Each structure stands twice: as structure tokens, then as C-alpha cells.
Amino acid sequence: MAIFRCYYLDADNHIQQVEIIEAKALGEAIEKGLAMLRRSPYPAIEIWEGATKVFPVSTPSADAADS
């Protein structure tokens, strides 16, 4: 099992909470992270394995769409 960290981010991309994800592979960690995101009040997560960000997920902001 690999250990991943799932960081919940607020609308300003500040870390608000962290949870550990145990998974056999990155795909499983992403599935678990997305399920956790759907149950959370936060708009985005990042999944990290060690010092490497392996999966950023966020909701596009209105400002980014206008750029």
C-alpha cells in the first residue's frame, strides 16, 4: 500500500484540512480523493505522494474563465 496525503483547499487555495489515503496505486488514491472531495465543504483538493503533487483537482473559478 502506498500512502498519499489529501489536502483540502479553500477558495483561496489555502490548506484547510489534510487526510491520509492508503491505496494500492495512484488511480485508487484519486478515486478515494474525489469521493472525499464530494463529501467535503471545500472546492478543491491536492493529492501528494511524498514531496510530489500527483493530482490537483479544483473547480474553475469565474476569474480564470474570463482570462
pLDDT digits (tens, 9 = 90+) for 12-62: 999 999 999 999 999 999 999 999 999 999 999 999 999 999 998 545 555
Looking at residue 60, its pLDDT comes to: 58
Identify the helix (H) or strand (E) that includes residue 28. helix 26-39
Distant-in-sequence, close-in-space partners of 33: CB < 8 Å, separation ≥ 6? 4, 6, 21, 45, 47, 55, 57
What pLDDT does residue 39 have?
96
> How far is the C-alpha of 25 from the C-alpha of 14, rounded, in Å?
26
pTM, full prediction: 0.80
Question: CA torsion, points 46, 42, 14, 29, in degrees to nearest 10?
Answer: -10
